[in-house]
Structure 1
Amino acid sequence: MYILWMCIFAAMALQMAYRLLGMFFLLTVVGACHRKEKSFMKFHEIQLTRSSQGHTLHNTQVFSRNGQWIVYDTRNDDTQIGSTGTIEMVNVRTGEVRTLYRTESQTAYGPGVGAATFSPVDDRVLFIHGIRNADINRPYGITRRTGVAVDIDRPGHPVFMDARDITPPFTRGALRGGTHAHSWSGDGQWISFTYNDYVMEQLAKTASGVRDLRTVGIMVPGTVKVPFDGSLENNSGICFSVVVTDVTENPEPGSDAIDKAFDECWIGKSGYQKSDGTHQQKAIAFQGNVRNTEGETVTEIFVVDLPDEVPTEVNGQPLEGTAGSRPGVPKGIVQRRVTYSVRGVEGPRHWLRTTPDGGLICYLAKDQRGIIQLFGVSPNGGTPRAITHNKFPVQGPFNIDPSGNWIAYPADNSVFITEITQGTTYRITQRFDEAEKPIGAPNWSPDGRMLAYNRYTGNENERFLQIFLLRR
């Protein structure tokens, strides 16, 4: 009997030891995960710029490919491109500032530069450049700008990217107006932009029913020569440019026709998987204004699938346009509507963003409480899903980190990040006063370990937009 009781006690002790060991292991793992999570979310903030001028970050792609430099223009306000003449970059570790480009004969009327982005594969910066003959009678404007690049080892040497020709009979591969908000594709080979047409703008002054409609275009490698006339109104370019979205002056209510295409992004680093399992190599998601059945304007999400080769024209719709028609959309481009919501895209101005695999297009809209949240939808369509569930609205544009797991955005006068799949949200800066709240879109570094963002500092008389860096 004694031996039996000893065996029972030994078994019970062994069982208890296993339980304690299991609990210890579980607590260790949970604690490690908790520490990892806290460490992952801990961002250290530094003020990177301090000079008495503006330092405006573009809405995306402001880091160099090695993550060592951040490019910006010297605007102190988003509306000041026409009067801004300098593009600079700052080193993220040393704070060294280098001037990359400065306009000639800059005035309040132009030419103006701004909205600078780094190529993801080259040490090249691309930015908006106003037409070089800008003056009081021909100021910087939405149809009077083009894309210019500078290689960082050759500062001050402009490379005109898109060709411009507003003189009939026009030039195939050149456009006739203003390209802006340029964005590099994941492989750095193609560039998207929004576009307004100078020829249609002028025609609209005398022809009823004609309007210059904002649309989306692309540049692909291929030099385009435009005759030089000495006016600086036109220019040649190293890229072949076309319009890729179809717009019309009078969209039929309840249809998928649009009168404005804008604030686009490339889908994925290398496209996305279609619902039939095939892979679409190049595609753009954009916001388009439709008319609902009551005739009201609603903004919805659209996709254009692009051909792999340089686009060719549809018969009777020249890519360069005519004196009475806007540039034609090339052959092989498929435009389709993705969302069919009641209220559509809503909130502050923002550019669409997608996860690196192209599986999710992110945008802003109001939830059932009327609060502006982040939503996501597949490029193949389907039911959108909410990403954030905050008690306060998203206050501006956003960006997705290189892993595709996190999305960064301004809200409640702070910078936040949200885990896209689970919706877990973290405030990663303090809550600032209204005068010093984050401005614009936080930008991720290529390795996903840094975020750069703008906010104003200073007093009422001298407030300048500075760059702040969040490291983890």
Structure 2
Amino acid sequence: MAGEKQLTFDTRGHQLTNINVWTADSRWLAYDVRPKGSDFSGLTIERVNISSGEIETLYCASQGAHVGVVTVSPDARPRYVFIHGPENPDASWKYDFHHRRGTLLDAEKSALPVTLDAFDITEPYTPGALRGGSHVHVFSPDGSRLSFTYNDHVMHEWDPAQDLRNVGVALANHPVRASKMHPREYDGSHFCVLVSQTTPQPQPGSDQINRAYEEGWIGTRGYVNANGQRQRWALAFIGDTLSAKGEKLPEVFVVDLPDNDEAYRVAGEHPLQGTATRLPAPPSGVMQRRLTFTADRPYPGVVSQPRHWLRASPDGSTLAFLMKDCRGIVQVWGVSPVGGEPWQISHAASDIQSAFSWHPQGKALALVCDNSVVLLDVASGEMHALTERTEVPPSGDAVVFSPDGKWVAFMREISGFNQIFITPV
């Protein structure tokens, strides 16, 4: 083993997001500063140079707001997107799942970011604007759009049980103006829609879901469908179904998306912008499909621990996810976006302990197993340790390949705070 390198050292938490944390040249890692991953109290978005250790502050929040969960565009000139909490929070309006927004920073253009998603909570609602909070914004492989997860303020106020987690898409170069009838409303730089379809009470044994989350773009240029045609845009996500017995059963789902940006403006069965008693709805032409049916397995369903996000191979042919094997051990599994039976990729003696990422060439995954960062060969299932085994495992939140495939970034807890490390591949 060539050995790992610690990049951050101070007494603050340093939090990597689970994907897209590297600049395209593989020289910088972007992160936010939080005591713990679940404590959204960071003030700055920063980056660290992996060669020199130089740290740059990209943005500092003000007026009582906090920021976090930064990802980077794949462009040669990086753009940074992150969650921004509300300014001047008070007892009636403070950071929450439905009170946050996406913020996009092009540091070479301006020191000030722009708001990604417009916010309009006054009837009549505005198509392309959101009515709640967006989260974990991830650029598509070409940088033209972003995915995000979402919770809705209007539904939360009407009936919290109707505020269901969903997956959305933000399209660049389509700015949206909000009505500004409420003091918390604002404009956005992107046209935003929800693309998943949820229902508060799924029918047991059906493909209906009440939660869509942990999404990932499929392929650098989509995937080849069952007809041999290329589906250019698609997202995979975890959807919570109910088994025939009425028990929660997370499964793998796909949404096929329109090729043409203008198609996102065309409403489907229900209004894009939602109503006072209905969530925003997907555009016409968005197709949601269930891929896995695991109810009859000894240990059914996609696992929730460790928390992970569905990640597709660069060619789009394989969606990787975590599920227990017949012994009850958490393993990496694969399934085709076209459908069919999932197959077991890893055969570890102990649980996979982390989220994971694909090598840019698509032949391996980086993850944590047996308290080490390891390289998992997708074809053979063999694992090769990249770091020494330690008594306390590396953080399971993020294990991310660099774009050139030469490094893996991850975190360890040192004296109670996450610090950023890299290891060569």
TM-score range, shorter chain: over 0.9
Cross-structure match for 2:340: 382
Match for residue 169 of structure 2?
218
| Pairs within 5 Å for 1:199-238 | 199-204=154-159, 211-221=162-172, 222-228=174-180, 231=183, 233-238=184-189
Shift of 1:132: 2.2
CA distance in structure 2 between the partners assigned to 1:452 and 1:315 by the alignment: 41
What is the one-letter code of the residue matched to 2:78? D
Q: In structure 2, what residue type is equivalent to 1:351?
A: W
Distance 1:80 1:316 in 2: 38
Structure 2 contact 268–281 (Cα < 8 Å) conserved:
no
Corresponding position: 1:152 with 2:111:
no
Stretches of structure 1 lacking an aligned partner (at least 5 in a row): 1-41
Q: Which consecutive aligned stretches of 4+ in structure 1 deviate over 4 angstroms post-superposition? A: none
Q: Verify: 1:48 aligned to 2:7, yes or no.
A: yes
**CA separation of 1:43 and 1:358: change in aligned 2, threshold 3 A:** farther
User: For this pair of structures, how many residues does the alignment match?
Assistant: 416
- Contact 1:439 1:455 (8 Å CA) reproduced: no
Give 1:401 shift.
1.0
Contact preservation (8 Å) 1:128, 1:179: yes
State the shift of 1:291 in Å: 1.1
Q: 1:248 aligns with which of 196, 199, 202?
A: 199
State how 1:5-404 maps to structure 2 within 5 Å.
42-81=1-40, 83-106=41-64, 111-121=65-75, 122-154=77-109, 156-204=111-159, 211-221=162-172, 222-228=174-180, 231=183, 233-310=184-261, 311-314=264-267, 317-342=270-295, 343-346=300-303, 347-404=305-362
Answer yes or no: is the 8 Å Cα contact 1:415–1:438 preserved in 2: no
Cα displacement (A) at 1:155: 6.1
- Over residues 34-76 of structure 1, what are the superposed CA-to-partner deviations in whole Å (9 max), with x where a residue is unaligned? xxxxxxxx44311111122111000100000111110000012
TM-score (norm 1): 0.86
1:443 is aligned, of 397, 400, 405, to 400
Q: Give the root-mean-square deviation of aligned CA atoms.
A: 1.5
Query: Residue 412 of structure 2 is aligned with which of 455, 461, 466?
Result: 455
The match for 1:467 is: 420
Percent of aligned positions that are identical: 41
Q: Which letter does structure 1 place at the counterpart of 2:4?
A: E
Instruction: Using the TM superposition, give the Cα deviation of residue 317 of structure 1 relative to its aligned residue in structure 2, in angstroms.
Output: 1.6
Moved more, 42-51 or 243-252: 42-51
The answer to whether the 8 A contact 2:103-2:116 is kept is yes
Indicate the structure with greater helix content: 1
For residues 126 and 221 of structure 2, the distance between their equivalents in structure 1, rounded to whole angstroms, comes to 30
CA contact (8 A) 2:394 2:410 kept: no
Structure 2 CA distance for aligned equivalents of residues 216 and 162 of structure 1: 14
Secondary structure at 1:397 match in 2: coil
Cα distance between partner residues in 2 of 1:95 and 1:155:
24
Q: Deviations along 1:307-347, whole A, 9 cap, x unmatched?
A: 01221333662111111211121101111110111211013
Q: Residue by residue, what CA displacement relative to the aligned partner does 1:351-380 show, whole Å, maximum 9, x if unpaired?
A: 000100000000000001100000000001
Correspondent of 1:420 among 362, 378, 385: 378
Instruction: Mark the CA change 1:439 to 1:292 in structure 2 (over 3 Å): closer, same or farther.
Output: closer
Alpha-carbon deviation of 1:457? Answer: 1.4
Q: CA offsets per residue over residues 84-110 of structure 1, 9 Å max, x none? A: 11110011111111111111123xxxx
> Radius of gyration: which is bigger?
1
Residue identity matched to 1:112: H
Aligned partners of 1:156 and 1:466: how far apart in 2? Answer: 26
- 1: distance between equivalents of 2:218 and 2:21? 18
Residue 397 of structure 1, CA deviation? 0.7
